Amino acid sequence: MAQLEVELVAANGKIWEGSARQVSARGVEGDLGILPGHVPMLTALAEGEIRIDGDGGGKTIEVEGGFLSVDRDRVTIVTDSVKHS
């Protein structure tokens, strides 16, 4: 099964990196669900949860806004800070 490569970066460095089946986030224009094969995109994030679902379970991280980009099954999330997981 195809996987996403996910990288979450804050101002003070890399927070998390790994593979996932799905990433869910709240964009400024609504909720997002990213699966493998998603079209390339760049969007601003609203304050809220990022959910990363992988084979080993899920990870939830609270962010205070930022940006999310998708390109060729690679998801990059950049935020000023995290509230913590």
The tens digit of pLDDT for each residue in 11-54 reads 889 999 999 999 999 999 999 999 999 999 999 999 999 999 98
- Residue 27's pLDDT is what? 96
> What are the C-alpha distances in Å from 4 to residues 62, 76, 81?
20, 10, 23
Per the structure, the complete domain to which residue 66 belongs is given by 4-79
- Give the distance from CA 4 to its chain's centroid: 10
- Residue 84's pLDDT is what? 58
**Residue 20 falls inside a structural domain:** yes
Confidence at 82, pLDDT banded by 50, 70, 90: confident
Q: Which of 39, 30, 28 is nearest to 64 (CA)?
A: 28
Confidence at 83, pLDDT banded by 50, 70, 90: confident
Total domains present in the chain: 1
The C-alpha atoms of residue 79 and residue 37 are separated, in whole angstroms, by 24
**Residue 40 falls inside a structural domain:** yes
**Residue 72 falls inside a structural domain:** yes
**Residue 18 falls inside a structural domain:** yes
Length of the chain: 85
**Residue 84 falls inside a structural domain:** no
The C-alpha atoms of residue 49 and residue 72 are separated, in whole angstroms, by 23
**Residue 61 falls inside a structural domain:** yes
pLDDT of residue 1 exceeding 90: no
The CATH number of the domain where 21 resides is what?
2.60.15.10
**Residue 85 falls inside a structural domain:** no
User: Facing residues of 47 across strands?
Assistant: 64
